[in-house]
Chains A and B, each alone.
Chain A
């Protein structure tokens, strides 16, 4: 057997590592900023670009796709080469992958503050960026599978299985959820409407957690934890069972984000059952990780890298216990829309993803630079800042969220709701301040890490191409002369399978989605009508400003909600909503019935409230939207928007796109005239008029005779 010499590519790993740490600090800083916006709403909401609704998606996208995303690629590029005993297939592809991904991040950082958003959570980026993501993801997959093909180690270590599942599933999720109809270069409408859009979104949303934040990181855990501890994983058998069980269960859990909504009940139950089952493989993985340190716990006391990893795996265990619990309908009824969910995701994000990333960075950088970590002391300080940061973040949020939920649900003995919504907001504010302190601690730790890593880089030299030797893979088959062409691919079942799957999915999706989705959006409630052109424009502003980040539009069938908001929401009410705006969090009240019943307010109220919320509702944490009074509504897009809606099956009459702007102005003038009666002078062509029109329309259709 001949030993072959080759070199590992460390440069790409190093690039991804630096990107991880820089974007991590950026993403966490934006996170701290949005946290503080809820404490100091008037000073920190710099309208229009840096208000909460636009920055919160920037925070989530930055930490998920920039921090964790680069962390994934760093770990995959390092471990894959060593596990396969092969250099990455193509340096060029590695380079395109790295720079392409960074460009996407920069594009996100520019477009989101500009209000260019699809409003689908963790998939907010608009269609041109969606296409770029697809291309770069394919580059990543190509590079990875080609490396697997030329490997010198026949057995695929369990980490690689996690990477493969990550690639395949994220590709599928991204394609299905990003199905949208472009209207302009920076605006598109989701192909799905209402309940269907919600289901696709949360099928995506949950699996983004599963296959972007979990499976790749489990792969990293199974490589880097044994390496850092220098002992094999507790049970390799368990890791294999863990992998297969996890990926078979995860894909069905999405509907637990939509419990008690207008989603059909059987789908909700399916989501609950699979979510609950997930606890078993998840905990199998956690236990496997922790037991890897059996007999080496004394080293955890000394070794800061192991400390980070132990906290990471413990946090994984906590959030995967909590996840199935939150998926139970009775617990979800309390916890959904509250800050509990925010605490839950931060235990996972700060704990599992963050701590594992830092542990890997501290292990990887000195190794590639052939030096010692610049300062163990700084790393230890970072560890304690981060761990305390997580506690200071999560505990106030858990505590407050229980109180928040019970205040929402409490009745007086005479059967009245005990608390105004605003009272729950003011109750939360001190807790928002406390969790910001947790954020400060965690962020300072990350900054220490950045200093420590850069100092380490400064004192070492990068081994850009690391020498390695391994015997060539012995052939287990004999090649025949004149064999069929497809024999080649038959010998490579994994890539073949993946490739064919992708081909099938793209073809199938393109063919099926337009036809049957448009047909199925027939109204089931006859009084539900499409939005007027003005309302449609107002709705797009509502989307642009990210109102959904704080306001839900989904009244669940509980007495505490129907008393507060009105009649519970029906699936048939949302058939023209491209995209849906149900939201996932109630920092402010639900708006599904904003235009009707007890919630009905005058145009003047809305005008003054948008102008300065705290002047109308003392203690409100909502940003001011006074710029809507000055901004002129862009009516040039109206005909294109109407035509796009027609394509999606919204029944505007043929040729309506040409009449739309005329009707838009009529309705706008009416609202402006109404405002004038109360002494408010505002042009009918301003954006605020459109927003008011939309808010006044919300939830009214089912009451029409």
Chain B
């Protein structure tokens, strides 16, 4: 059942990658604000000046 080795290595790598991404996101302040991003996406001012296609 050596395929276990492969799958575990791959899965741990993926999970480890996600862990690093998680640590980075916390450290870089991605998650400091857990409210305004949810509001911000609702605002999308339409630019009405130009109408070039």
Contacts and interface: CB of A to CB of B under 8 A. Distances in A.
A binds B: yes
Interface of A: 5, 82-83, 155-158, 161, 164-165, 168-169, 172, 176, 192, 195-196, 199-200, 203, 223, 226-227, 230-233, 236-237, 239-240, 244, 247-248, 251-252, 264, 267, 463-465, 467-469, 493-494, 497-498, 501, 504-505, 508-509, 512-513, 516-517, 519-520, 571
11 contacts: A82-B44, A172-B10, A195-B1, A196-B1, A196-B2, A200-B6, A226-B41, A232-B39, A467-B49, A467-B52, A508-B13
Interface in B1-53: 1-7, 9-11, 13-15, 17-22, 24-25, 28, 30-31, 33-35, 37-42, 44-47, 49-53
Given A165-B18, A226-B41, A227-B42, A176 B10 contact: yes
Contacts of B24: 493-494, 497
A520 B2 contact: yes
Nearest to B12: A251
A619 B46 CA distance: 63
B22 A244 contact: yes
Contact of B41 (A157, A465, A494, A520): A157
B29 to A, nearest CB: 8
Given A199-B3, A465-B53, A517-B3, A251 B14 contact: yes
Contacts of B17: 168, 497-498, 501
B15 A505 contact: no
Count chain B CB atoms within 10 A of each CB in A230, A232, A468 and give the residue with the most. A232
Contact of A508 (B9, B20, B45): B9
Count chain A CB atoms within 10 A of each CB in B10, B44, B53 and give the residue with the most. B10
A499 to B, nearest CB: 11
Contacts of B39: 232
Given A232-B42, A251-B14, A264-B1, A497 B20 contact: yes
A240 B50 CA distance: 37
Contact of B7 (A203, A236, A240): A203
Given A497-B21, A520-B1, A156 B14 contact: no
A82 B45 CA distance: 11
Count chain A CB atoms within 10 A of each CB in B1, B2, B33, B50 and give the residue with the most. B2
Interface of B: 1-7, 9-11, 13-15, 17-22, 24-25, 28, 30-31, 33-35, 37-42, 44-47, 49-53
A295 B19 CA distance: 36
A155 B14 contact: no
B42 to A, nearest CB: 6
B10 A155 contact: no
A502 to B, nearest CB: 9
A155 B7 contact: no
A604 B3 CA distance: 40
B7 A199 contact: yes
Nearest to A518: B2
Contact of A155 (B19, B33, B45): B33
Count chain B CB atoms within 10 A of each CB in A169, A226, A236 and give the residue with the most. A236
Contacts of B31: 240
Contacts of A508: 9-10, 13
Given A232-B41, A240-B34, A504-B13, 8 more contacts: A5-B47, A82-B44, A155-B33, A157-B41, A158-B37, A172-B14, A195-B1, A517-B6
Contact of B3 (A83, A155, A196, A251): A196
Given A227-B41, A464-B53, A236 B35 contact: yes
- 6 closest residue pairs by CB, A with B: A232-B38, A196-B3, A467-B47, A520-B2, A236-B38, A237-B34
Nearest to A159: B41
Given A155-B33, A493-B28, A504-B13, A516 B2 contact: yes
